[in-house]
Structure formats: structure tokens, C-alpha cells
Amino acid sequence: MELPGFAVAVWMFVCFYASVGGYPNGKVREACTSMVPCHGSSPQLLPEHTITVNVTQFKPGDNIEVHLSGPDFEGFFIQARDAEHLDSLAVGSFVLADRRHSQLLTCGRTKNSAVSHTSKAKKKDIKVYWIAPGGAPKHIQFLATVVKKYRTYWVKIPGPVVSQPDVISPTPPLHATSEAMSTSYPVSYISKPFSASGCGSTKFCIRNPSNCDPGSASCFFLSFQQEETSVFIEMSGPSEGYLAFALSHDQWMGGDDAYLCVNEDHRVHVSTALLKERSHPLLDSENVLEDVSWRLMDGILQCSFRRSIRLPAYKGRFNMDTSYYIFLADGEATEGGLIYKHHRQPLVTNGLYNVTGLPQDIGGSRSPRLIKAHGALMFVAWITTVSIGVIVARFFKPVWSHSFLFGKELWFQVHRMLMLTTVMLTSISFVLPFVYRGGWSQQAGFHPYLGCAVMALTIFQPLMAGFRPSRHAPRRQLFNWFHWSTGTTARILAVVTMFLGMDLPALDLPDPWDSYAMIGFVAWHVGTDVLLEIHSYCLVRKVEVIEEDRVQILQSLTSAEAEGRLFKHIVLTIYVCGNIVFLIAFLIAINQV
């Protein structure tokens, strides 16, 4: 059954358009606590927008004028919170100054306690009024989340603190998970960036990207250098919040010996901690670090310290003359030093290493090997084998109808071989995340649900093909429709699932390259499909030209068929080469994460 190629394009457009919608109407109550938009990417670190107020003090019942301004932005979310407990609920209520661009939201039990946008129209300045409630905290700080565009946004941009009269200035918020802060050791300032000199010869180094310069703005660097009975450690990377590394017996967080360098109001606090499963690190009260130094410059955080190889008197500190997996993570922190969960997968070494043994210069990966294999197999299946198999079945029946392979028409054998390869690759790939996670993942959003749907359709399609009626059977037309619609639905869902999977923390291909590349592949496939449809239509019109001479008609038909075969073979060759280019690009990206 021949179906118009543009139907595939329309179907893909509708599904993709529905999958990328966010919250353009500003009704983002789900973000009341975290103030983080569900856009699937990490927030920016250096704010471009500012919050200003018209007073520095307030009394219950006062109206305070609040301005949010900066370069063009589409969305925003403003709250007022207790300055000494910024993780608490929103305080007070707002009154709008412009209902065209702003609207009131209720967070928690307080009505009108937040303000957000009404549409994604560009704006430069927002003005609202905050009403101080009775029983308000002594100090109030205004916070704003600003969305410049879908994947570019800032979370909890700090605004000014306003206080009630005759109240002492607020103290920095305490670490929610700290038992006591270790600040008794002397701290010095690092005068220049770290050097990779000696990596692999005198010290053990981990660098990401591999062989990068620790002084560059994109290099994560961790080194260990043994000095008699102690180890001198250097850590640096692009972060305005914190850097941390941990020694672990396995590749999962939990029960690990961690070391954190946290930016606290433009000073770096260095501490040890214990990681208990996937919770905030529990900071130690004991001082086990010496010669602590730090540096903050041009968005790069650096810290160095020394600790003894063995610390038998300190519970939770691992001996450094044993082999471990090494984690390296980065993330955001408040000005008071409260750290947030890292938005991307930590860098993890591919094996166990003894940092006091033979010096090495190694890299690491932010994506586990099983997840990389999962992504690679899915790309092979749904970018190459499926796409080529569909084109062959759709347009090469008349071209290869007189060629046979193992007793069947050539186009059918090629189509069947490619589709069975897809089933095999998809089945293997489907199992790998479950093996890695040990079960179902609650952190992957819609990706696993759509993946299960794709797997079910992938199995159902060849089973249905096994009961295909004969070519002239009455039910053959119904079968053709079911076969086409099931296959097309599986392909669309597979591409949408890959779109979602590329930004998950376990893989997280580079933005925005991954989205552009996938959109390019979809456009490449749809464009090829439409081109071949147009060619087939033109070929039919050419043959339908009425000729008086029957011989002339036969000659025209023979010439048109020959011309059609040559054109289709050229297009297929170019299409296969293009698919391979897309596949190689994705595989290279997977290998580099």
C-alpha cells in the first residue's frame, strides 16, 4: 500500500511540537519550592539580571516596590523568603503593577506569595509590590528565577535583604547537613593556576577533558602527590559553587570518603564529609586537613590541601594507599555555603586506582559504559537500520522486484534483514539500563516509559508481519495500514525518546549540539522521503503522457523506468552516507562524555 511521504513529516512535526512545550503561561506552581524550571538543562551560574527595592527596612503591612531588570528575558519567578532560612516557604504577598506581563501565584498556604510571567513575550523590566505580613521574619531576601530562553536560565538570583527596624544584620544560613564547621586550620591564598607538569611521572592526575590545561576555563583537574606519609591534593574546575571528589569502593554514591571545596560568599571553605547514599554530604567536625589554600578567579575554583595517608583515629576517612573508584563533581552553592545536588553526572574513573601507587595521568567518564552502550545501540538501530529499511520498502519495490536473494525479492530480503537487525539491537539496548540500575529508574522522567512503548511496538511489528495475508487477499489492505502505522509510530516515539535521553544526567550529550543534530537527522530523513515521493509522482506523470504510437509509449515507459532506477540508486547512496555521518557524530559524542 503506497502512502504519501508528507504524512510521515506531518506526523513527526505534531509529535515533536507536543514534546517540547514548557510553561509559557507562567503557571509554574510545581517550582514553588526549588524555583527550578523543568527545562531539562542546567542553570547558568553568573546572573545577568538584578533585583532592586526602594527601601532597606520594613514593618508589617508596608508595601515595598520590587524591580527585576536586565537583558531581554521570556519568563521569571519572584518570591520573598526568610533571609536566614532561604530554603523555607515564600513569605508575604505581592500586588501587581502590570497585569499584561505578570500574574500572581499561590505557593504553599500563602495566597499571592509569588509572581510569574503571563507569556513568553520578551521583557526587560518587571515591577511588583510586596506586602509585609504580620509576624514576618526579621530579615527578608527577594529571589528570582529568570528564563532568557528555554535552555538558558538562572535560578534563585539573590536580591537585596530588607530588615525590620532595630535588628542586627542577618548571619549566613547554616549548612543544613553539617554537624560542625571545620575552620580552625590556617588558610592561604593560591597565587597562580595549578600546573599539569608532573602528571603521570611524579603525581597521579585526573583530567577532563583528557590532557586539558588546569588553567583553562573548561578543565576539571584533580591531582595526588605522595610526600612521605601524606598526600598533597589539588582540585580545580569551572565552578562558582563547589567542587568535590570522593573515594568509593564502587561506582555508586554511598558510604564514600568525600572532600569539598565550597564557595561561601567569595571565600572557599574546604572540608571532609561522608556520603550516605544519595543525600547531602554529612560534614565532619574533626580537622584532618593541613596546608589548606584556595583561589577564585575568572569562574575557576581551585583548592589544595594535605592529609595523612592513614588516619586510623578518624572514622569515615579511607586509607589512601588502597585502590578506589574516584568521583569528581561540581555544582551550585548559596552565598552561605549550602550546596545543591549536582545537575549532571559526576566524573567517575573507569576502574579502581591507588593514588599513592604508580603515577598516572588518566581521564574519566560522566556516563557509565552500560549507558553509553545503550545509547550507541539505539542510535545504530533507529538512525541507520530502521531508516534505510523503510526507504527500501517504500521506494525500491519496483526497482528491485526482478532481483532475487535466497528465493525472495531483493527489496524484501534487504528490508527484512534491516528490520530484524533493529529488533535485535533494540532488545539488547533495552536491557542495559535495567542491568545498570538494578531495576526501574525514578529519575529519568518520561524516557523509560516511552522506551518501553518503543520496545513493545518493535516486538509487535515483526510478529504482525509473520501473519501477513497474501498479496491479493481481501485483508491485505488493512494489514498494510496497520503495518505502516505501527512502524511509523515506533519511529516517531523512538526519536522523541532519544531526544529526552540525550539530556539525562547519565548520558547528557553536549547542548545544544545534540538537539540540533537530532533535528538535522529528522529533517534529512523527511527531506529524502519527500524528494523520492516527488520523483515518483513526476515519473508517473511522464509515463501518462498520451502518445498515439503504442511503440512510442513502450519506449517512453522503458526510458522512464531506467531513469527512475538510476535516480533512486543515487539518492539511496547519498542517504545512506548521510545517515552514517549522523551516526558517527553521535557515537563520537557518546564516547567523549
User: What string of DSSP letters covers 124-186?
Assistant: EEEEEEEEPPTT--SEEEEEEEEEEETTEEEEEEEEEEEE-TT-PPPPPPPPTTBSS----S-
Q: What is the pLDDT of residue 29?
A: 67
Q: Alpha-carbon dihedral of residues 268, 274, 277, 279, nearest 10 degrees?
A: -40
Domain 369-592: assigned CATH number: 1.20.120
Task: Give the closest residue to 23 by CA, choosing from 12, 15, 35, 33.
Answer: 35
Q: What is the pLDDT of residue 261?
A: 92
Whether the Cβ atoms of residue 221 and residue 209 lie closer than 8 Å to each other: no
Q: What is the pLDDT of residue 581?
A: 93
Domain extent listing, the chain = 29-163, 188-365, 369-592
Place of cell 590556617: 186
| Count of Cβ atoms closer than 10 Å to residue 124 Cβ | 11
Angular region, 181: left φ>0, alpha ψ -120 to 50, beta rest? beta
Q: What is the pLDDT of residue 544?
A: 58
Taking each helix axis from N to C end, the angle separating 513-543 and 550-592, rounded to the nearest 10 degrees, works out to 170
| Count of Cβ atoms closer than 10 Å to residue 449 Cβ | 12
Prior bond to 158 cis, omega within 30? no
Q: What is the pLDDT of residue 170?
A: 54
Rounded alpha-carbon distances, angstroms, from residue 311 to 194, 253, 420, 425:
27, 22, 58, 49
> Distance (Å, rounded) from C-alpha 277 to C-alpha 252?
8
- Return the bridge partners of 63, or none: 131
332 burial class (0-12, 13-18, 19+ CB within 10 angstroms)?
buried
Rounded alpha-carbon distances, angstroms, from residue 502 to 59, 316, 440, 515:
50, 36, 18, 8
**Which positions ≥6 away from 21 have C-beta within 8 Å?**
none
Q: What is the pLDDT of residue 14?
A: 38
CA 579 to chain CA centroid, nearest Å? 24
Q: What is the pLDDT of residue 308?
A: 94
- Return the bridge partners of 365, or none: 348
> Distance (Å, rounded) from C-alpha 30 to C-alpha 535?
50
List of E strands, 282-333: 282-283, 290-297, 300-308, 325-331
HEC states along 494-519?
HHHHHHHHCCCCCCCCCCCHHHHHHH
Whether the Cβ atoms of residue 208 and residue 219 lie closer than 8 Å to each other: yes
Whether the Cβ atoms of residue 539 and residue 531 lie closer than 8 Å to each other: no
Judge if 29-163 and 188-365 fold alike in CATH terms. yes
What are 577's three cell numbers?
552516507
Q: How is domain 29-163 classified at the CATH fold level?
A: Immunoglobulin-like (2.60.40)
- Helix, coil or strand: residue 101: coil
Whether the Cβ atoms of residue 503 and residue 511 lie closer than 8 Å to each other: yes
> Distance (Å, rounded) from C-alpha 560 to C-alpha 357?
73
Whether the Cβ atoms of residue 429 and residue 377 lie closer than 8 Å to each other: yes
What are 67's three cell numbers?
524591580
- Helix, coil or strand: residue 477: helix
Q: Which amino acid is at 126?
A: I
Task: Give the closest residue to 415 by CA, choosing from 402, 400, 429.
Answer: 400
**Which positions ≥6 away from 366 have C-beta within 8 Å?**
208, 344, 345, 346, 347, 348, 508, 593
Phi, then psi, of 557 in degrees rounded to 5: -65, -45
> Distance (Å, rounded) from C-alpha 502 to C-alpha 590?
9
- Helix, coil or strand: residue 213: coil
> Distance (Å, rounded) from C-alpha 236 to C-alpha 301?
5
Q: What is the pLDDT of residue 7?
A: 42
Q: Which amino acid is at 305?
A: F
pLDDT tens by residue, 58-116: 998 899 999 999 999 999 999 999 988 888 899 999 999 888 889 999 988 888 999 99
Q: What is the pLDDT of residue 458?
A: 94
Q: What is the pLDDT of residue 173?
A: 42
What are 7's three cell numbers?
504524512
Q: What is the pLDDT of residue 302?
A: 93
- Helix, coil or strand: residue 468: coil
pLDDT along the chain (593 residues), means of 10: 43 38 58 80 82 92 93 93 89 90 88 91 93 91 91 88 77 36 55 89 92 89 94 93 92 87 85 79 76 88 94 86 94 76 82 94 83 91 92 85 80 92 95 88 86 95 88 87 92 93 80 86 92 83 53 48 78 93 88 72
Q: Which CATH superfamily is domain 188-365 in?
A: Cellobiose dehydrogenase, cytochrome domain (2.60.40.1210)
| Count of Cβ atoms closer than 10 Å to residue 116 Cβ | 23
What are 383's three cell numbers?
538512525
